[in-house]
Chain A
Amino acid sequence: MTSHDPPPLEEPRQEDSLAPEQHSLDDTSPSVPPITRWYYRHLLPVRLGHWINVLCLPILIMSGFQIFNAHSALYWGDRSDRDRPILAMTSVRTESGERKGITMVAGHTFDTTGVLGLSGERARGFPSWATLPSAQWLAMGRRWHLFFAWIFVINGLLFGLYALLRGHFWRDLFPHWRDLQNIGKTILDHLLFRHPSGEEAKHYNVLQKIAYTGVIFGLGPLIVLTGLSMSPMIDAAFPWLLTVFGGRQSARTIHFLACFAFIGFVVIHLFQVIVTGLWNNLRSMVTGWYTIPESEEVHEKTNAD
């Protein structure tokens, strides 16, 4: 097997001798003899941190919706003046006696019956299938949220320290200038569903780097700090948090927006995981081992053999 690999391209981290010998799962081309080049892509701390987040995020998002439902409106500033929300999910009764779910965003109202404002015959912000627990139960939602917030924060801190101290951040995650120069080509590749092969597939592309760096070192700290800004005790200890986020209700609004940014990230991330080879990606995040799609050059070489 290893004889098919072009020798000068090997990285020190690649340990082909340890790789299980098998056929590539994704090779559908019948004319090319199936060749698998294994690459140890994700180190243990990355995999561990990743799967802890997979556990935490759905729980935090759904218990967060539960907490939001206790007062399903958002405001800007320090106060929540009931007549001045920037977002509100309510249920109203129409003249014909029918109940409707209404969502108001910045002055515009939308009929969201069945999903937001009114669902399952109940007046509630988010529907029961999106909240944890499913029934209206603020105390339990807080328990889930605050417990898994600790795990999320500890995991994030440990991973962030690991990434910074062991070079993972600078080597694999940080979008360097030479990455950014190719951003146009990378965006085009994404739009055309052209996926990197060969040596290129061993590294995150520039859009991945921007997304991962942004989430780990931007969005993550933002959602934790806005969450902490809602704590009256933390506000007493660190009053600048209120200044930075523009007040406690603003912090709550930003926390909510950051939550949807996380949801957006997860949706795009899962889409990319599926279209770039679900099993290969999943295996590499579970075991570390990733198979490298062959580049044109390698194909030719293989055919010549």
Chain B
Amino acid sequence: MKKRTPIDRRRFLIGAAQAAGLLLLTGCDSLSRSDWFPRLLGKAEGLTRRAQRLVTTRRAMAKEYTEADLSPVFPSNGTSDPNDSDYQALAQRHFADWRLKIGGLVKNPARFSLSELRQFPSRTQITRHDCVEGWSAIGKWKGVPLGELLTRVQPLPSARYAVFHCADPDDEDQYYYESIDLEDVYHPQTILAYELNDQPLPIANGAPLRLRVERQLGYKMAKYVMRIELVDSFDSIAGGRGGYWEDQGYEWYAGI
């Protein structure tokens, strides 16, 4: 049997170390810009979603806090005042003319005014808001459970996602939107909030109505909700990934 000399092995190891170093320092950036590699990395999202849903019961509740735990100031992130003339006109009249439209794959499309929404049974919850950036804030939210509203409009059996269309555009006139699946739609803590800390929801935090999905990260919780559309797929909406940030490469499943 032919034996390898130590020099061969040494050369091999040096080469391997150099290759590894090079791959790590420069390769990772070009991998990040490639087409296929981020898609491969993105496979982890499905695994995470399935694994987390497997260990979490449908009704498992996000922790609820007490008034003593409230953040002194609930931060406003992203849009703090939508750059949209229709929205500004609504805001001027304190959203008296605003109507929440619910349509898409539903039996009875409907419109609700803010005062009508306030007539529905409400839920109040003090919860922690976790931003994808890493910070957390605790706020007290009051709103109408989304499941409650949807039983009124009666989703068709083909409906799989609720898409939230919002009033705030970015610099390229792309409007914010988000989507959640039916499991989150009917979760008891999923509410459309019209109050923050016992006050009408401020514009900075999404007036007149924002979504709360307490078991996911903050970017799922669309502010300035104008219209809810039930769909069987979000492939044809905007970038096709199910949300504004999702279209920029963030995960659709934001449970982690």
Asked whether B5 lies within 8 Å of A22 as measured between CB atoms, the reply is yes
Our pick among A20, A248, A252, A282 for the contact of B13 (Cβ within 8 Å) is A282
Is there an interface contact between B29 and A239, defined as CB atoms closer than 8 Å? no
Docked CA distance A237–B43 (Å): 23
**Interchain CB contact under 8 A, A79 and B136:** yes
**Total residues of chain B contacting the partner, CB 8 A:** 57
Tell me which of B32, B61, B128 contacts A248 (CB under 8 A). B128
Contacts of A73 in B (CB 8 A): 135
* Chain A contacts with B in 188-204, Cβ cutoff 8 A: none
Most chain B CB within a 10 A radius of its CB, from A22, A150, A231, A239: A231
Instruction: Name which residue of chain B comes closest to A249, CB basis.
Output: B136
Q: Is the CB of B256 within 8 A of A231?
A: yes
Flag if B38 contacts A236 (CB, 8 Å).
no
Q: Which residues of B contact A235 (CB under 8 A)?
A: 62-63, 215
Cβ of B216 < 8 Å from any Cβ of A?
yes
Please indicate the chain A residues that have their CB under 8 angstroms from the CB of B250 in the complex.
139, 142
Closest Cβ of chain A: how far from B240's Cβ, in Å? 16
Instruction: List CB contacts (< 8 Å) of B41-64 with chain A.
Output: 41-45, 47-48, 52-53, 55-57, 60-63
Please indicate the chain A residues that have their CB under 8 angstroms from the CB of B137 in the complex.
79-80
Rounded to whole angstroms, the CA-CA distance of A150 and B256 in the bound complex is 13
Q: Are A139 and B249 in contact (CB under 8 A)?
A: yes
- Does B3 sit within 8 A of A, measured CB to CB? yes
Specify which chain B residues have a CB less than 8 angstroms from the CB of A242 in the assembled complex. Answer: 63
B24 at the interface (CB under 8 A from A): yes
Give the interface segment out of B65-73, B84-92, B143-151, B154-162: B65-73
Q: Decide if the interface of chain A is mainly helix, strand, loop or mixed.
A: helix
Verify B249–A140 contact, CB threshold 8 A: yes
Distance, CA A116 to CA B209, complexed state (A): 39
Q: Known A248-B128, A249-B136, A279-B6; judge A236-B44 contact (CB<8 A).
A: no
| Bound Cα distance from A239 to B3, whole angstroms | 58
CA distance A282 to B11 in the complex (A): 12
Residue of A nearest to B63 (CB): A239
The listed residue (B3, B4, B48, B215) touching A236 by CB distance below 8 A is B215
Q: Mark B1-38, 1 if CB is under 8 A from A, else 0.
A: 00111100110010000001000100011001000001
What are 11 A-B contacts with C-beta separation under 8 Å? A20-B4, A68-B134, A78-B136, A143-B38, A143-B42, A146-B41, A147-B42, A233-B56, A234-B56, A235-B63, A282-B13
- Residues on A lying within 8 angstroms of B by beta carbon are 20-22, 25, 54, 58-59, 62, 67-68, 70-71, 73, 78-82, 132-135, 137-140, 142-144, 146-147, 149-150, 228, 230-239, 242, 248-249, 252, 279, 282-283, 286
